[in-house]
């Protein structure tokens, strides 16, 4: 009976030692990669905040002569709410990266700003206007 108690005590001490070693080593390498992916995507989508003031002003012209009013509302509100999309993506991406979820989940959560029409419709128009 004494040998069993000694063995279980040894196992407990060994587990505690391994746990303390993990804390000293820092986060696992995979978590670092996910954090780097998150930071790169957040910075890329954050660049959209630079063009957001100009695009949010241009969004009012969607209502001039809309053939599809629902599409006009989608375009306008998705542009006006782009900072909210970016903040939601920032929070959810950071939480998923820190919790060690799969990297695809980190990418999907951080890519929430892609729901905005600004990336698909108005950014190519702005680039075309700058080069013509």
Where do the structural domains in the chain lie, given as residue ranges? 28-131
Q: How far apart are CA 74 and CA 66, in angstroms?
A: 12
The answer to whether the pTM exceeds 0.75 is no
Residue with tokens 């957040």: 42
pLDDT given at position 130: 65
Mean pLDDT of the chain: 77
DSSP summary character for residue 122: I
Q: How far apart are CA 78 and CA 59, in angstroms?
A: 9
Distances (CA, A) of 63 to 1, 29, 47, 66, 73: 82, 50, 26, 6, 8
The pLDDT of 97-107, averaged and rounded, is 85
Instruction: Give 65-88 pLDDT, tens digit per residue.
Output: 778 787 788 888 888 888 998 999
pLDDT given at position 90: 92
pLDDT of 46 > 70? The answer is yes
């Amino acid at each position: 009976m004494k040998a069993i108690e000694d063995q279980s005590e040894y196992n407990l001490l060994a587990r505690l030692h391994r746990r303390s070693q993990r804390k000293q080593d820092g986060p696992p390498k995979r978590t670092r990669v996910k954090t780097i992916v998150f930071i790169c995507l957040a910075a890329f989508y954050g660049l959209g905040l630079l063009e957001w003031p100009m695009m949010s002003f241009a969004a009012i012209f969607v209502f001039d002569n809309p053939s599809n009013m629902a599409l006009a509302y989608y375009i306008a509100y998705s542009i006006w709410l782009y900072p909210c999309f970016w903040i939601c993506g920032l929070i959810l991406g950071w939480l998923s990266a820190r919790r060690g979820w799969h990297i695809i989940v980190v990418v999907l959560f951080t890519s929430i700003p892609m729901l905005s029409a600004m990336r698909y419709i108005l950014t190519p128009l702005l680039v075309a206007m700058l080069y013509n």
